[in-house]
Structure 1
Amino acid sequence: MRPPTLSLVHVILTTSLVASLGHCAYAGARGPLKFQGFLPFLSQSTLGHINHGVCNATLHRYEDAWRHASLDAVDKTCVSHQECLLEGMSELAKSYMASSSLVLGFTPLLFSTLGPSISELSLLSLHRPVLTALLAFGTVGLFQTRALQYDDDAVTGILEKQTALPGTVVTWLRDRRHGQWAASAAQYILAALAVANLCWASWDLGLASGLNFVCQSSYMPIVWTTTPIVVSLPAAVALNTQTRRGANKRDMSFLATFRSEGRLCLGQEPVPPGALTRSASLVFWHWVSAVLGFLHLLTGILIYSSLMFTMTTDAAVIVLRYLVSVLVCRLILIFELAGLQQTHDKRAREGDHDASVDTAHTF
C-alpha cells in the first residue's frame, strides 16, 4: 500500500503562494510606519532619545510623507531620517550595531546547519504533507548539501541510516493507538507555535530595524524565513509524482490522505523501495531545489547583514527566538524520520526472512 500523496501539491502550493506574496508587498504598498520604536533591550535605550530628540524634525517629515505623499517621497524622507540617526549615534553605539550586523549576517548560515535537507522534507511529505509544510515554515533555512550532487542527499540514503528512535519507544507507541494520536496532535501544536514564534520574531526585527538598501521595507526578514517551503517545493512535488505512479485510487482518496496525515510515520506502511529509485526527473528537480536553496542562503546573508539600528543584545535575543523554533521543528522531523527508518528496517528484515525461508524450502 502506497501512502496517500494527493493533497501535497495543494497544501504546498497554497502555503507557498501565501509566503511568496510577501515579496510584492513593498512594490504596491507603503508598508508599516517605521521608527516608532526599536527592539526593547539595548536598541531602544540607545536610539530612542536620538529618534525623538535631535532627529525629531526628520521623523515628523517622514511621518507626514508616509501619510500624505508619494512612495518616492516616503523613501527620501526615510533615508534622511536614517542618516540623522546615524549622525547622532556615538562611535560606541555604532560598534554595537556593527557587531549586531555581524551576528545577524551569520544567522542564515548557522541555522542552515540545523535545518532539514531537501530530501528529508520531500520524504516526510509523502506521508504527512500538512506537518511537512509547518516544519518548512518553522525552520530558518535548509541544510546545504553539495550543489548538483544528488547522492549527498538521496532519499534512499536517509531511509538506510540507523534510526535514532529507541525500540522501546516504537513498541510502546505501536501498542497504544490513543498515544499515537496524542503524540501526533502534540506535533501539530508545537509546530504551529514554532511557526508563530518565528514569524513574530521576524516581524519584530523587520519593523524595528532598517535595511540600508530599502529603507521603508519591513517585510524582508519575515519573507525570507517563510520561503524554505518554496525552495523545497520542486523536489517534493517530483518525489510525490514518482511515488504516485501506479498507486490505486483507493490509496489516494481524501479519507486515506486524512488518515495518513494524522498518523505517526512509525505506524504507517513504508514506501515501496522501487518507488524511490533514482530517476532523471527526480535528480533534475532536486538540483533545482538545491540551487534555489543556495540562492536563498545568499539572500538571507545579504538581508540580515544589512539590517541597521539593532544592537548586539537585541540581535542575540532574536537569534535565540529563532533557535527555539528551529530546534522544535528539528526534533519533530527527527522523530518522524526515525519512524520511517523503523518501518523500512522492519520491511527489510521481513524480506530477508522470507528469502531465507524460500531458500530452505528449495533445498
Structure 2
Amino acid sequence: MLGLVVLFGATPAMAKNTRFLDFFPVYRSDFIQIRDGPCAAEFALKQAGAQVCRSLLDCMLENTSEVIKGDMGSGIVVLGLGPTILTFLGSGTAETSLLARRRPLLALLIASGSPAVSPLPTFVYPNPIEELEARDNHLAIMQFSPIQAIFVSILEYVLVMGAIANVYITAFTMGSWSINTISCDDLWYPTLWAVTTLFIHIFGSWCLALRVSTPGNNEDSQHRVKERLFRWIRNELTPCITHNKLQLIWKPESYLFVAISWWTSLLTVVHLLYGTVAFSSIQFIGYVDSIQILARFMGSAVVCRAILMFELAGMRNALKYESPQEEYSLVQASHTRLSSTHDF
C-alpha cells in the first residue's frame, strides 16, 4: 500500500518540480556546482516551468568530468544487473501462495517487501505437495508457547514492514535523486518496478487456488463463517509451526489455470526486463551509491525470504491431525502423487 501511495502521489507536476534539486551523496556537490554554474540558465528556466529537462540534462553531462562519467558508467552497470541479482534472493510465487493459504496478510506483506520474483519456466508450475512434504535431516523448528508464538509473529510483522518501507523509500529516492534518460521528467520508474512485484504474487496465488482446495472451505453456514474468521485471526497472529497441518486437495487442471500460470511466468520476465531497462537508464549516480542502493534492496529481499522459509518450514513440521491417514502426509491428492514440477 505504501508503494501505491508513493507511485500515485508522484504526479508529473511533482516530478518536474523535484528534478535536479538533489543528487546522491558521493557527487552531490559536483553536480550542484555544475547545475548552478554553467547550467544555471537552463535550471532557472526549468524552475520557472519550462520544458527544458533534456536540455538541462545535456548541459550537465557536457560539463561533467570524464572521471565522474566513468564512475557513473560503473554505477549504471551495477544497477542494470540489480534486478537479475535480486531474483536469486527473491521468493517464488508458489512459495508465497502456500503461505497465503494459512497467513494471507503476512504473505501479502512479504510479497510487497521482496523487490524481485524468482522466474519460472513457461508452462511449468511447482508442485505444492513437494513443498509441504516432511524433509529428513533438516534443522528442527523449535516449538513455542502461546506468548512466545505471538511475540514471534509480531517480530515477523515488524521486520516485514521495515523491509517494505526500505524498498519503497529506496525506490522513490532513486527516482528523486537521479535523472532517467527514458523520460526525463518522470521519477516513478523504480517505484513502479517495486510495486508490480505484489501483483505477480497475487496472480501466483490465483494459480494455486485454481489447482488446489482446502477441505471444508465450501461450507458457508453462519457458524462455519465465524469459525473460519476466528481461525484466520488466530493463524495471522501465530507462526505456522503452531498450526495444524495444512491439507490441500489437488484439483484437475483447467484451461484457466494454464492461462493464468502462463501469464504469471510471462509477468516475471517482463518485470525483470523492465527493471533492467529502468535501472540502467539512470544518470548522476556513482558506483558507491549504486552498491548501497542494491544492498538495501538485497537486505529487504533476504529478510522477507528468511521469514517465508521459516513459515514454510513450520508448515512442514506443524502439529499433526489425529486421523487414520498417514500422519506424515501434509497434502491429500485426488488421485496420484505428482513430481516436484508439473509440465502442461
Could you state the TM-score of these two structures normalised by the residue count of structure 1? 0.80
Q: Does structure 1 residue 234 correspond to structure 2 residue 203? A: yes
Question: 1: distance between equivalents of 2:203 and 2:101?
Answer: 14
**Counterpart position of 2:27:** 43
Question: Offset at 1:283?
Answer: 4.2
Mapped partners of 1:123, 1:45: distance in 2: 49
SS state at 1:343 partner: coil
Residue 115 (str. 1) matches residue 100 (str. 2): no
- Equivalent residue for 2:185? 216
Secondary structure of 2:317's aligned partner: helix
Q: Identify the match of residue 172 of structure 2 among 186, 203, 210.
A: 203
Alignment of 1:319-334 (within 5 A): 319-334=294-309
Distance 1:28 1:310 in 2: 23
Match for residue 343 of structure 1 among 318, 323, 328:
318
Residue 141 of structure 1 corresponds to: 116
The 5-angstrom pairing of residues 103-182 of structure 1 reads 103-150=78-125, 153-160=126-133, 162=135, 166-167=139-140, 169-170=141-142, 172-173=143-144, 176-182=145-151
**Relative to 1, partners in 2 of residues 1:148 and 1:348: Cα closer, same or farther, differing over 3 Å?**
farther
CA deviations over 1:58-112 (Å, ceiling 9, x no partner): 11111111xxxxxxx43xx111110011100111111111111110000000001
- Residue matched to 2:337: none
Structure 1 counterpart of 2:69: 94
8 A contact 1:235–1:282 mirrored in 2? no
Aligned-pair CA distance for 1:239: 2.7
Counterparts of 1:164 and 1:31 in 2: how far apart (Å)? 57
Q: Identify if the C-alpha distance between structure 1 residues 206 and 27 changes in structure 2 by more than 3 Å, giving closer, same or farther.
A: closer
What 5-or-longer segments of structure 1 have no aligned partner? Answer: 1-14, 66-72, 356-363
Alpha-carbon deviation of 1:219? 1.1
Q: 8 Å contact 1:117–1:143 — kept in the other structure?
A: yes
Q: Which moved more, 1:318-327 or 1:182-191?
A: 318-327
Deviation track 1:280-300 (CA, whole Å, cap 9, x = no partner) reads: 244432222111111111110
Q: Contact (CA 8 Å) 2:215, 2:248: kept in 1 or not? A: no
| Letter paired with 1:110 | I
For the residues of structure 1 that align with 2:87 and 2:243, how far apart are their CA atoms? 29
Aligned equivalents of 1:146, 1:107: Cα separation in 2: 21
User: Residue 224 of structure 1: CA displacement?
Assistant: 0.8
Superimposed CA distance per residue, residues 145-203 of structure 1 (whole angstroms, 9 cap, x where no aligned partner): 222212xx222222136379632x43x32xx1111110000000010011111111111
- Of residues 280, 304, 318, the one that matches 2:293 is 318
How far apart are the structure 2 equivalents of 1:212 and 1:114?
A: 28
Higher deviation after alignment, 255-264 or 101-110: 255-264
What CA distance in whole angstroms lies between the structure 1 residues aligned with 2:121 and 2:267? Answer: 13
Q: Which has the higher helix share?
A: 1
Structure 1 residue 279 displacement after superposition: 2.5
Equivalent residue runs for 1:16-31 within 5 Å: 19=4, 22=7, 26=11, 30=15
Q: Structure 2: which 5+ runs fail to align?
A: 330-344
1:55 paired with 2:39, answer yes
The code of the aligned residue for 1:62 comes to K
- CA 1:32/1:304 → structure 2, altered by over 3 Å: closer, same or farther? same
Contact residue 34 and residue 63 of structure 2 kept, 8 A: yes
Paired with 2:283 and 2:74, the residues of 1 have a C-alpha distance of 11
Aligned residues: 322
* C-alpha spacing 1:59/1:114, structure 2 compared with 1 (3 Å): same
In the aligned structure 1, how far is the partner of 2:166 from the partner of 2:172?
10
Secondary structure, aligned partner of 2:234: helix
Amino acid at match of 1:191: V
Identity of aligned residues (%): 25
**Structure 1 range deviating more: 28-37 or 105-114:** 28-37
Q: Partner of 2:335 in structure 1? A: none
Calculate the TM-score normalised by the size of structure 2.
0.85
CA distance in 2, matches of 1:198, 1:115: 13
